[in-house]
């Protein structure tokens, strides 16, 4: 009898201990460190990371917090990939095409010349297999990658001199990253990638002759219109998607509910960035038209576009040669664009063309 009571007492104590531990476990908190490529308080891009972090903390009731280190703190704006991969930072916010020199197949997940617009690209990511392909690439590097905010169609860049023929591109030094840089190189441009904080100085000092950044909202703030008069329409980044990177080991340590909160917050912040970009670009363009009459909007001549389309085809073929993974990514994007654009043509394009005729 005494032995039975002893067992009962032991069981009751164990149950009491379990009940006491459960609430404490449920309140376990996590703080993740995020490195972003952008400087402190960088508009739109930085607003996106702050918004995401605020949503995460609110939805988790304080159980998950994200500390953001801007480029001025970690001193490596183009080192985010390596820092997150190594676990120096838990998360990162940057752009996938910055890593093409390390992992060539990362560049397809930002934006491709003559490719999908933002609406089409988000459809591809979330419903057309894009997320799975992106994760396949990043799995090899101990990271997860999620869409991190879209700028929409980016402008084609600021040029000191008007570009009238292909000869005007020969030897031109231009800041232009990603696949577009490779396409421009095919037609004679000398492309380079420069961190955002160094762009104005490089253009002012003549280190580069031209640059592309984003669009009116961010370009106006950086003052490029004070140096270059010619502002070209876009072709190279019709849907520039940033990214949230997460160290896989860190992700796997998070409870399932916090993983889902983080996933939802990233997706919401990414879409919010697209609408924010449209809003701010609209306001900034109105300001440029009113206050800076020196700015002339130009479109590259047909001769140049035709040469770049041909160059794009060559560079894509070269990238896919001998790389089965690249072949599948490129084919997936081309197939999706073909079908999505057929609908875009009879919906969005048809509407815009009709409205243009009525103006």
pLDDT exceeds 80 at position 3: no
**CATH second-level architecture of 157-238+295-358?**
3-Layer(aba) Sandwich (3.40)
Query: One fold for both 27-150+239-279 and 157-238+295-358?
Result: yes
pLDDT score, position 21: 38
pLDDT exceeds 60 at position 352: yes
pLDDT score, position 190: 97
- Percent of the chain exceeding pLDDT 70 equals 93
pLDDT score, position 26: 56
What is the fold, at CATH topology level, of the domain defined by 27-150+239-279? D-Maltodextrin-Binding Protein; domain 2 (3.40.190)
Contact (Cβ atoms closer than 8 angstroms) between residue 152 and residue 278? yes
pLDDT tens readout for residues 283-311? 999 999 999 999 999 999 999 999 999 99
pLDDT score, position 178: 80
pLDDT score, position 351: 97
pTM of the model: 0.88
pLDDT exceeds 50 at position 2: no
pLDDT exceeds 60 at position 9: no
Backbone angles phi, psi at 33, to 5 degrees: -95, 130
pLDDT score, position 177: 84
Contact (Cβ atoms closer than 8 angstroms) between residue 76 and residue 226? no
pLDDT score, position 47: 98
Domain parsing of the chain, residue ranges? 27-150+239-279, 157-238+295-358
Angle at alpha carbon of residue 83, lines to 79 and 86, rounded to 5°: 140
Q: What's the token pair of residue 142?
A: 């101990």
Q: What's the token pair of residue 113?
A: 């010349």
């Amino acid at each position: 009898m005494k032995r039975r009571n002893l067992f009962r007492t032991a069981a009751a104590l164990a149950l009491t201990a379990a009940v006491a531990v459960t609430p404490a476990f449920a309140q376990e908190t996590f703080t993740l460190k995020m490195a972003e490529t952008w400087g402190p308080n960088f508009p739109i891009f930085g607003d996106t990371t702050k918004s995401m972090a605020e949503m995460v903390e609110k939805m988790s009731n304080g159980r998950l917090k994200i500390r953001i280190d801007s480029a001025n703190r970690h001193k490596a704006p183009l080192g985010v990939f390596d820092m997150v991969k190594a676990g120096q930072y838990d998360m990162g916010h940057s752009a996938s095409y910055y890593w093409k020199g390390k992992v060539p197949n990362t560049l397809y997940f930002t934006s491709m010349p003559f490719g999908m617009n933002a609406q089409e690209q988000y459809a591809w990511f979330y419903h057309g297999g894009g997320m799975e392909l992106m994760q396949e690439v990043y799995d090899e590097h101990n990271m997860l990658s999620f869409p991190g905010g879209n700028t929409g169609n980016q402008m084609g860049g600021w040029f000191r001199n008007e570009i009238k023929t292909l000869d005007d591109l020969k030897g031109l030094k231009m800041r232009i990253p990603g696949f577009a840089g490779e396409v421009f190189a095919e037609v004679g441009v000398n492309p380079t990638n420069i961190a955002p904080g160094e762009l104005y100085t490089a253009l002012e000092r003549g280190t580069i002759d031209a640059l592309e950044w984003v669009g009116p909202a961010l370009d106006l703030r950086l003052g490029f219109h004070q140096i270059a008069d010619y502002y070209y329409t876009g072709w190279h980044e019709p849907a520039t998607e940033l990214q949230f990177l997460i160290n896989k080991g860190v992700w796997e340590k998070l409870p399932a509910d916090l993983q889902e909160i983080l996933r939802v917050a990233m997706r919401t912040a990414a879409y919010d960035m697209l609408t924010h970009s449209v809003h701010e670009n609209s306001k900034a363009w109105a300001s440029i038209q009113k206050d800076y009459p020196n700015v002339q909007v130009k479109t590259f001549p047909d001769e140049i576009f035709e040469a770049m389309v041909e160059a794009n085809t060559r560079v894509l073929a070269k990238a896919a040669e001998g790389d089965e993974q690249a072949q599948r990514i490129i084919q997936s994007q081309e197939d999706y664009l073909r079908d999505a654009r057929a609908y875009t043509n009879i919906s969005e394009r048809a509407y815009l063309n009709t409205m243009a005729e009525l103006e």
